[in-house]
Amino acid sequence: LAKTTQPISMDSYEGQEVNITCSHNNIATNDYITWYQQFPSQGPRFIIQGYKTKVTNEVASLFIPADRKSSTLSLPRVSLSDTAVYYCLVRNTNAGKSTFGDGTTLTVKP
């Protein structure tokens, strides 16, 4: 399984763009990358996912370089309600196994 590494914590201010990078150096060909958000006492919630290059949806963008050894979640113009733990997940589509990182605690300040 690909091991993932994320920063333990990040601070930001309302209105700023936040970029959280996840390292997955031994990612395999069949692995794809998903990011989840988790609030206290809740299960993780899907944010965005991709295999390579750039993916954008209504809440975030995901940048994956050509070597796929890392991925960066970009949250535009964060608000206080974006304070949460963000997890990078590498998943092998053939096996169903999922390796979550330890998560990045994002704190958005007024």
Partner 1 sequence: GAGVSQSPSNKVTEKGKDVELRCDPISGHTALYWYRQSLGQGLEFLIYFQGNSAPDKSGLPSDRFSAERTGGSVSTLTIQRTQQEDSAVYLCASSTSGGAWYETQYFGPGTRLLVL
Residues that bind partner 1 (CB under 8 A): 32, 34, 36, 41-46, 49, 51, 87, 93-103
Nearer to partner 1 among residue 70 and residue 104 (C-beta) = 104
CB of 45 to partner 1, least distance (A): 7
Instruction: Write the CA distances from 59 to 4, 31, 52, 101, integer angstroms.
Output: 23, 23, 18, 21
Nearer to partner 1 among residue 38 and residue 74 (C-beta) = 38
Residue 50 and residue 34: Cα distance in Å, rounded?
7
Residue 108 and residue 110: Cα distance in Å, rounded?
7
Nearer to partner 1 among residue 88 and residue 108 (C-beta) = 88
